[in-house]
Amino acid sequence: MASLQLNLKPFRILTPFKYTSSSPSSGTPKWGKIQCSATSNPKKSYNITLLPGDGIGPEVVSVAKQVLNLTASLEGIEFKYQEMPVGGAALDLTGVPLPEETLSVAKQSDAILLGAIGGYKWDANEKHLKPETGLLQLREGLGVFANLRPATVLPQLIDSSTLKREVAQGVDLMVVRELTGGIYFGKPRGFGKNENGDEIGFNTEVYATYEIDRIARVAFETARKRRGKLCSVDKANVLEASMLWRKRVTMMASEYPDVELTHMYVDNAAMQLIRDPKQFDTIVTNNIFGDILSDEASMLTGSIGMLPSASIGDSGPGLYEPIHGSAPDIAGQDKANPLATVLSVAMLLKYGLQEEAAAKRIENAVLETLDKGFRTGDLFSTGMKLVGCKEMGEQVLRSIDSQRLAAV
Active site residue 291: yes
* Residue type present at position 403: Q
- CA distance readout (Å), 377 to 127, 161, 305, 374, 386: 33, 14, 10, 10, 7
Q: Buried (b) or exposed (e) across 296-315, using 16+ Cβ within 10 A?
A: bbbbbbbbbbbbbbbbbbee
CA distance 171 to 243: 29
Strand order in the sheet with 172-178: 77-83, 44-53, 111-116, 318-322, 308-312, 146-152, 172-178, 282-285, 229-234, 260-265
Catalytic residue, from 267, 276, 314, 329: name it: 267
Catalytic residue, from 46, 54, 65, 184: name it: 184
Catalytic residue, from 81, 121, 213, 295: name it: 295
Specify the pairing of strand 190-193 against strand 199-202: antiparallel
CA distance 160 to 41: 44
Active site residue 267: yes
Active site residue 235: yes
Active site residue 80: no
What is the distance in angstroms between the CA of the first residue and the CA of the last residue of the chain? 21
Of the candidates 81, 70, 73, the one whose C-alpha atom is nearest the C-alpha of residue 47 is 81
Active site residue 295: yes
Catalytic residue, from 110, 291, 334, 378: name it: 291
Which helix (H) or strand (E) covers residue 52, if one does?
Answer: strand 44-53
CA distance 290 to 278: 18
- Bridge partner residues of 21 (DSSP): none
Phi, psi of 177 (to 5 degrees): -105, 130
Q: Buried (b) or exposed (e) across 177-205, using 16+ Cβ within 10 A?
A: bbbbbbbbbeeeeeeeeeeeeeeeeeeeb
Catalytic residue, from 65, 235, 335, 390: name it: 235
Q: Mind telling me the catalytic residues?
A: 184, 235, 267, 291, 295
